[in-house]
């Protein structure tokens, strides 16, 4: 059983009436009660953060980080909020994490924001999540760090399944940042790794047919690179490192082709509670591994 999940709120539970900031504080104390007992906790935390900064600075960081942002709804339930408030806290955390990636000069970041399986949630939640993307995508364009870092945005997924308002917001993000030469931020929206591979094979077959090639000729010379050219991420290096929060230890369809030789890091912390020291620990873990690529 995941220890991050609390039982339903009882009537009169203090968390159900506490302000948002207090609810978060209570949730953090629930998972880290030692902070109540040790007045030196915060200074020690800051010292440890600086210590990790110094350690991470000594070795190369991942060139491409994939992030599976998991645990928003459980975080919200933990502090007596609606699921959508949890997703909003998740968006706020995402802004922080992108800044941390910029601080480390990470060249590529890919976010798993909304899977094709998420369409199976209630229509109200799906609509709310997509509306949240529309609102936050406009704000992302105005983020000072995004502008100063000349971040370029790319949206991948089955765009045809998205409402017109979401497609318009996606295109605005891409067009507004098309000339940027900084970090490439890829957002997987209405995405499934299996569907991506299926679409890539369809693209390959259609291109071969247009060129007059027979199926026999295509199969005789087919290489993995031929399929890779039709992936949504064509032109982007495969992720070196994939981080998933919330304690779940699976990819859930994220970059199935591209993750063949990625390093993985599964963190028990729910996404909105993901701290900079959690991020730095993850990067340090990656730096201590020896990548062999199957050799």
Q: List, in order, residues 6 or more apart from 119 with CB less than 8 Å away.
A: 126, 161, 190
SS (H, E, C) 39-86: CCHHHHHHHHHHHHHHHHCCCCCCCEEEEECCCHHHHHHHCCCCHHHH
Q: List, in order, residues 6 or more apart from 41 with CB less than 8 Å away.
A: 34, 35
DSSP single-letter state for residue 8: P
End-to-end CA separation in angstroms for the chain = 37
Tokens of residue 221, six digits: 């010379």
- With CA atoms as reference, report the closest residue to 274 among 85, 114, 95: 95
Q: Which of 53, 118, 131, 278 is catalytic?
A: 118
The Cα 235–Cα 229 span in angstroms is: 8
Q: Could you confirm whether 70 is annotated as catalytic? A: yes
Q: Could you confirm whether 127 is annotated as catalytic? A: no
Q: Which of 70, 78, 238, 240 is catalytic?
A: 70
DSSP calls for 214-262: -HHHHHHH--HHHHHTTSTTTTSPPPSEEEE-TT--S-TTSSTTGGGG-
Tokens of residue 269, six digits: 């912390």
Catalytic (active-site) positions: 70, 118
């Amino acid at each position: 059983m995941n220890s991050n999940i609390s039982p339903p709120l009882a009537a009169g539970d203090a968390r159900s009436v506490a302000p948002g900031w207090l609810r978060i504080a209570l949730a953090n104390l629930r998972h880290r009660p030692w902070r109540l007992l040790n007045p030196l906790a915060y200074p020690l935390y800051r010292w440890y953060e600086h210590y990790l900064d110094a350690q991470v600075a000594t070795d190369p960081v991942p060139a491409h980080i994939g992030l599976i942002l998991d645990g928003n709804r459980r975080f919200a339930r933990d502090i007596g909020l609606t699921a959508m408030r949890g997703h909003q806290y998740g968006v706020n955390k995402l802004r922080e994490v992108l800044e941390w990636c910029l601080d480390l000069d990470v060249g590529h970041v890919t976010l798993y924001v909304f899977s094709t399986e998420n369409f199976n949630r209630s229509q109200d939640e799906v609509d709310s999540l997509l509306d949240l993307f529309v609102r936050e995508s406009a704000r992302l364009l105005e983020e000072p760090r995004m502008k100063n870092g000349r971040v370029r945005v790319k949206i991948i997924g089955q765009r045809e399944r998205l409402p017109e308002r979401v497609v318009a917001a996606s295109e605005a993000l891409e067009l507004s940042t098309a000339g940027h030469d900084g970090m490439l931020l890829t957002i997987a929206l209405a995405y499934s790794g299996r569907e991506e591979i299926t679409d890539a094979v369809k693209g390959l077959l259609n291109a071969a047919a247009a060129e007059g090639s027979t199926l026999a000729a295509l199969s005789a010379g087919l290489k993995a690179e031929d399929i890779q050219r039709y992936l949504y991420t064509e032109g982007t290096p495969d992720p070196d490192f994939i981080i998933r929060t919330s304690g779940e230890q699976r990819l859930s369809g994220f970059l199935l082709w591209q993750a063949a030789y990625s390093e993985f890091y599964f963190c028990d912390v729910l996404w909105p509670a993901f701290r900079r020291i959690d991020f730095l620990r993850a990067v340090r873990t990656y730096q201590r591994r020896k990548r062999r690529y199957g050799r």
